[in-house]
Copies of this chain bind each other. A is one copy, B any other.
Amino acid sequence: MTKPAVDFWFDFASTYSYLAAARIRTLAADMKVAITFRPFLLGPIFKTQGWDTSPFNLYPAKGRYMWRDLERQCADQGLPLKRPDPFPQHSVLAARVALIGLGQDWGDDFCVNVFRAQFGEGRSISEPATLAAVLADLNVVAEPVLAAAQADDNKARLRTQTEDAARYNIFGAPSFTTSDGELFWGNDRLEQALAWARRLG
């Protein structure tokens, strides 16, 4: 019997992925489910739906609601919230750096901390200096990591990861998948995804 496992798919620009990232490790540990962090880019997926930016910007009523809902959810989870400007942030560099870290031992921490820097502190994650500061907090020397992140082979890995997301029919973030191909969308489905994985395990 293998340990139950869930893949956690997110774009760093996604507000509800901040909520999921902040709680997934504790929840998964409690339920004895292994989590694989899988950053990808929503942009190419949104494009296939005809969107050139976040639906929260395209549909103002939905966007206003999202920010208010996020305030309430952050309050319930005890998380800080400071809206980054602009929204959405360009997330490609953060995702590339995350892939480097996920091949080493600091990837999950980096992801959680990038979300917190962006949505908890309102910092700009498109700026290399912000990512370098997050790396420094983890005692990772930033310069070689940022260089490796921007190398062609790593850029290709992020494209592949995004293609994998599309193959799972992922259309938003956060999403969760299990080994039988089941898809769960949204922070609100995290518990259900973990429970599903346990039933398979």
Residues of A within 8 A of B (CB): 49, 59, 61-62, 64-65, 68-69, 72, 76, 169-172, 183-186, 188-189, 192
Contacts and interface: CB of A to CB of B under 8 A. Distances in A.
Contact of A68 (B64, B68, B183, B188): B183
Contacts of A76: 192
B72 A169 contact: no
Contacts of A192: 72, 76
Contact of A169 (B64, B171, B183, B188): B64
A72 B76 CA distance: 26
A109 B128 CA distance: 58
A72 B189 CA distance: 11
A59 B171 contact: yes
A165 B10 CA distance: 32
A186 B188 CA distance: 11
The list of the 9 closest CB pairs from A to B, nearest first, reads A61-B171, A188-B188, A61-B169, A62-B171, A49-B59, A65-B185, A65-B183, A64-B169, A65-B171
